[in-house]
Amino acid sequence: MSRRMRDENYRADQWQHRYDPHIKPINDYIDEIRTAELWVPYVAPAHGGINARVLSVLRDPGPATRKDVGSGFISVENDDPTAERQCNRFESVGLSAYDILPWNAYPWYINRAPKATELEAGVDTILEMLRLAPAVQVVLLQGGDARRSWRRVLRRSPNLTENRELTVIPTYHPGIQALWHRDPAERIRRVNHQTDAYRQLAAILA
């Protein structure tokens, strides 16, 4: 079910469990990198945390992750269209939120495209997510910034994919803007590419 974060009781329950054992190492790390000037949303405990099998990387946290106006979490259950599309995509191939560790190329809240220096700053955080979540088998790169970020990760750690036996699947960002094109055939191609990526992901984990 998507958009569960719109429910106040659900949000309160997620907040209460944000330091449960499976998610505590992730959110402890977020406490370390969060500052008064650079805010980072927690990862919702509905996700698998250290037990997740998929690291899903998008660009940056959106407004629905803000605690004062949204949930305070990165979550496919957030009350926004991008999260809803992700949730529905994962469910359509038989994956649950618990299979996923959501993250961003630039995890600090800016709500704009990250600059090159910001993508570089995010590399350490991606590497730390992989260190904290040893069960991850697949890295799902959703969007151009996620792909650019991963190239920086591999420059920093060239043998990472082989050493961890990771499968890396690049596709389009789940936001509707990334799928739009004035050419209808190109729009269809992008949607199909995204569909195939999620199916490939599920097949690897099956």
Q: HEC string of 145-195?
A: HHHHHHHHHHHHCCCHHHHHCCEEEEECCCCHHHHCCCCHHHHHHHHHHHH
Q: What is the pTM of this model?
A: 0.95
Give mean pLDDT, residues 33-50: 96
How confident is the prediction for the chain on average, in pLDDT? 95
Give mean pLDDT, residues 121-126: 98
- Res 8 pLDDT > 70: yes
* pLDDT value of residue 23: 98
- Res 84 pLDDT > 70: yes
* pLDDT value of residue 68: 80
* pLDDT value of residue 177: 85
Q: Write the pLDDT tens digit of every residue in 150-190.
A: 999 999 999 999 999 999 999 999 988 888 889 999 999 99
Sorted by where each starts, the structural domains of the chain and their CATH numbers stand as 4-205 (3.40.470.10)
Give mean pLDDT, residues 143-153: 97
Task: Tell me which H or E stretch contains 42.
Answer: strand 42-43
